Structure 1
Amino acid sequence: MKALVATEYQALDRLALADRPMPSAGPGELVLKVEAAALNPLDLALVTGAARELYPVRHPLVVGMDVAGTVEEVGAGVVGYAPGDPVLAFVGQAGAVAEYTVAAPGPRLAPRPPGLDAVRAAALPESGMTAVCLLRAVGLRAGESVLVVGATGGIGLYAVQLAHSLGARVIATATAQDAAYVRELGAADTVDYRERDVVQETLTLVPAGVDVVVDLVNRGDGLAESARAARPGGRLVSPLYGPPDLGREVSPVYIGSFTSEPGDLESLARRAADGTLRVEIGARYPFAEAVTAVTDFATKHIRGKVVVTVP
């Protein structure tokens, strides 16, 4: 089979479509025929080695972790799935930008409901489940206010919608051209991070400070700066690591990787299928242009998810 492969830690433009052995389903595994695969920032860091200390890679690496397709083969001991079933999954370093991949039953694999096409389904697993995990970890509640920094990225677009659905007042960072769209997703207010100081604008909107800051962009001392938008005793949550003390009794919650719970992915898929959760596809590439998809994802401002379709 063909797959997008990194043979070592390397520059993104040195990736190539290459032959890899056809996977087989071991006990407790499924082989999936891939229809679409979505890219995430972690994919870039795995290729270049920027994340090697936290996530070491065994080469050759097949790029991508989010996939939608159909069950091709069912391994021993697997129940509830049969060949031909449409599914979506987070497959980790098994690799998603390929003609076939391997997945395991559990909370990171879900049936794909009618009405949810493969492209939108592939855009859900990592970003959607991370957004769920972040809001759950910080305990966001109805009536609270939340600033989402990085609201137009893959995770951010879901975080805005899920926070709004919980009954929170959402303030989201967005450029002028994206502001109307982010408001449609549920943001009550937007802050143009290119033109304004995000913290100062947020404190103008909520003088006492927001209850929660969800920062999907900054790391290290940058998170301490974002925390100034939180009220004393508020919370900050981030998938990137930062200082243990943010001052003013603002509690930091750092999530290095999402911890999915049973039903999370199924719920996201159902909501996407019935239209109550919008999935934004910022760019779509055919399998033959997978290397371009990766380099564009790394270098261009793309609202939403980048998806590679596989014939």
Structure 2
Amino acid sequence: MRALAATAYGPLEDLEFIDLPRPVPGPGHVLVRTEAAALNAVDKALITGTMRHVVPVRHPFVPGVDVSGVIEAVGADVTRFAVGEAIVAWNDVPSGALAEYVLVKATAAAAVRPAGLTAAQGAALPTAALTAAALLDISGTSPGDTVLVVGAGGGVGSYLVQLANRAGLVVLATGRTGDQEFLDGLGALHTIDYQHVDITEEALRLVPGGVDVVFDLANAGPALALTAGAARSGGRLVSPLGGPRSFERGVTAVYGGTTTPDGRLAALAAQAATGELRIAIGAEYAFAEARRALVDFAHRHIRGKVTITF
């Protein structure tokens, strides 16, 4: 089978198309014929090696944690899925979605793809939507709370704005010039153009005293102190990227990442199929252009998700 792979840690431009044996599903796994994949920040980190001390990979390494395709074979003890079913999955590491076939764990991290979703839409869902839902879970918010979503135009952010709005939260979102209509359509009450105004100052102008929770999807480490300043005294900052445990004025930090509670991915897919949850795809590439897709993903501002179709 053809796959896009990293033969060693290095720049995205060094990725190569290679031939690999078609995987055979073992117990608890299914073999999926890939129809589409989507890109995430973790793909770049695993390819370049910035996460090698935390999550090392074996080479040749095939990136891609979001996959949408059709089950070709099932391993022993698999009763959750059947041959011929279309599924979507968050495949974690060792990833592998940028190949013609990929092994997927037959767990709650995979779900049947509803008829109302295209393959590309299905691929754009798992990591970003599951992460957004997980961050909302740990935020401690209640209906009526005000929140600031930093990085609202990206994959996770586009889902988080929608889920927060549906949870009854008042959403302020950050974006670039020209993103306002897009973010308003997702449910943001105010869009802050970070290219022309200071995010924290503008948030405090819009919500004197500060928002209840800041979701920062863009910054990590000490840089989080800047956006934490938009939270009220005793408020919270939520991030998937890690940083200090607390900030000035009693603002506390909560960190989390992708989780797969049973039934959640299936529920998100069902909502997306009916249009209740919008899937924003900012760029689509063919598999032959997958290397360029990763380079563009790393260096261009793209709203929503980047997908690759086979």
Do the structures match in fold with TM over 0.5?
yes
1:275 match: 275
1:107 is displaced (CA, Å) by: 1.6
2:113 match: 112
1:89 match: 89
Q: How does 1:99-248 map to 2 (within 5 A)?
A: 99-248=100-249
1:245 is displaced (CA, Å) by: 2.2
Q: Deviations over 1:68-100 (max 9, x none)?
A: 001110111000311110100011223101100
1:305 is displaced (CA, Å) by: 0.7
Corresponding residue SS for 2:250 = coil
> Does the alignment pair 1:29 with 2:29?
yes
**AA paired with 1:278?**
R
1:225 is displaced (CA, Å) by: 1.1
1:140 is displaced (CA, Å) by: 2.2
Number of corresponding residues: 309
**Distance of 1:66 and 1:28 partners within structure 2:** 18
**Greater mean alpha carbon deviation, residues 211-220 or residues 132-141:** 132-141
Corresponding residue SS for 2:266 = helix
1:42 is displaced (CA, Å) by: 0.7
Which structure 1 residue ranges, 5 or more long, are not aligned?
Answer: none
2:99 match: 98
**AA paired with 1:293?**
A
TM-score between both structures, scaled by the size of structure 2: 0.98
> Does the alignment pair 1:73 with 2:44?
no
> Does the alignment pair 1:11 with 2:8?
no
Q: Deviations over 1:209-244 (max 9, x none)?
A: 100100000111111111110011111100111112
Does the CA-based 8 Å contact 1:67-1:122 persist in structure 2?
Answer: yes
TM-score between both structures, scaled by the size of structure 1: 0.98
Does the CA-based 8 Å contact 1:224-1:242 persist in structure 2?
Answer: no
Aligned Cα root-mean-square deviation (Å): 0.9
Does the CA-based 8 Å contact 1:66-1:125 persist in structure 2?
Answer: yes
Does the CA-based 8 Å contact 1:283-1:307 persist in structure 2?
Answer: yes
Which structure 2 residue ranges, 5 or more long, are not aligned?
Answer: none
Q: Deviations over 1:156-189 (max 9, x none)?
A: 0000000000000000001221111100110000
**Distance of 1:73 and 1:139 partners within structure 2:** 42
**Distance of 2:146 and 2:216 partners within structure 1:** 14
Does the CA-based 8 Å contact 1:140-1:163 persist in structure 2?
Answer: no
**Distance of 2:104 and 2:201 partners within structure 1:** 45
Identity of aligned residues (%): 50
1:284 match: 284
